[in-house]
Structure 1
Amino acid sequence: MTKIIHDQVWPGSTLPFGDPTRALWIAERAASAVLRRAADEVPGVTAVSCRLARSDLFTGVRVSMTLAAEMNRSLPETAGLVRRSVADTCRHVLGMVVTDVDITVIEVHHASV
């Protein structure tokens, strides 16, 4: 029972917002949810997981994401669209600089008609 409560309350690691005072932080779980939605906005993509890690002392983050994707375009093109969406959302919504977006496609589906 304690483990269940701990998993629901514990926010995980925290990451700094792009705040010059360095006084604002966000839980990785919350930032990850925002970035998974950004990936899901790319047609034919479903984000399966998303992890963030600090890449510098201030605002830089490295994003590692796993996806399921439809074959409605080449996978490199799909990965590029996801990287762009995630980086833009990270910068404009979360106020963080993305140093890397690593994409792993773990499932491929044929495009729906």
Structure 2
Amino acid sequence: MKTETWTQAVRHRLDLGRLLPLGGPYDGTWITERAAARVLELAAAEVPGVRLESLRIGSAPLEPVSEPTVRPPAGALPPGPLRIEAACTVPLGKPLPETTDQLRSALLNAAAERLGLATVTADLRVTDLQDVPETGVKSRTTARAMRPAPETATARSSPAMTGTGSMRGPVRELADVVTGVPGVARLTSALGSRPVKVEDHDDPPGRRIEVQLAVARGHHPLEVARAVRTAVTDAATTDKSGPVTAAVLITETAA
């Protein structure tokens, strides 16, 4: 039983993909690769005739990274430029450079404007050409490298916590603060730990807070995370707590 539970936890963690830095080193925010990919897939679907076959996001090679001002979630990438890698099928009858440029712009713009990712490049690989009608075309995204199919992604989505009744004391109070921030859809526990984790330490004195959450439709993930960090640090700061730092991990988006 323990082996099976451990295996399921590993599979779930792999399904989340990398933990990507959102914003800069002072923002203290990360987003799962799967959540970011969802937004990029929707942007790619706006390019007529294009079908994504795979999509990955990771650190851009040879680009400098920064030390975050707060302790990141375990295994998270350091703040720095990112690279998008995508494989796609494109339509016949349209110049290939024009189509790939359009897709590249859609991905980079969505990463920067809809999410707040510091992306510097999008490397595209065309795997096939397809004959599609000139009108009424809707591209479909499968992103097989990230998830086998939309149904599988739903089944494997991170455990949701729509309430805070199971929490007690200061943790529950902070959880209530988080869920009261506009744009927070719910708390989550994608990494297998509590959605709101508080650690007090004495050397040096201070308090560390880590929050996992889902962002509601129509809200910008980075702006929501910034508001959450401000709210929880204000709520957790006392005369005896010492410096308070907060890290936010966005595990789901409803773009």
- Aligned residue identity for 1:110: D
Change (3 A) 1:72 1:42: farther
* Structure 2 contact 36–115 (Cα < 8 Å) conserved: yes
Higher strand share: 1
Name which structure has the greater RCO, CA cutoff 8 Å, separation 6+: 1
- State the Cα deviation string for residues 47-98 of structure 1 (Å, max 9, x = none): 1111111224224210000111111411111000001100110000110122
Deviation at 1:6, TM superposition (A): 3.3
Q: Does 1:37 align with 2:60?
A: no
Distance in 1 between residues matched to 2:25 and 2:10, nearest whole Å: 32
Q: Secondary structure at the match of 1:26?
A: strand
Q: Does 1:79 align with 2:83?
A: no
* Structure 1 contact 59–97 (Cα < 8 Å) conserved: yes
Distance in 1 between residues matched to 2:43 and 2:35, nearest whole Å: 13
Change (3 A) 1:4 1:107: farther
- State the Cα deviation string for residues 29-51 of structure 1 (Å, max 9, x = none): 21122212211210101111111
Q: TM-score, normalised by structure 2?
A: 0.41
Aligned partner of 2:236 in structure 1 is none
Structure whose CA Rg is larger: 2
- Aligned residue identity for 2:44: A
Q: Secondary structure at the match of 1:93?
A: helix
Distance in 1 between residues matched to 2:84 and 2:109, nearest whole Å: 12
Aligned partner of 1:48 in structure 2 is 53
Distance in 2 between residues matched to 1:9 and 1:112, nearest whole Å: 40
Distance in 2 between residues matched to 1:40 and 1:63, nearest whole Å: 16
Q: TM-score, normalised by structure 1?
A: 0.86
Structure 1 segments unaligned to the other structure (5+ residues):
none
Aligned partner of 1:21 in structure 2 is 26
Aligned residues: 113
* Structure 1 contact 59–96 (Cα < 8 Å) conserved: no
Distance in 1 between residues matched to 2:12 and 2:25, nearest whole Å: 31
Aligned partner of 1:60 in structure 2 is 81
- Aligned residue identity for 2:38: A
* Structure 1 contact 39–85 (Cα < 8 Å) conserved: yes
Structure 2 segments unaligned to the other structure (5+ residues):
66-78, 135-255
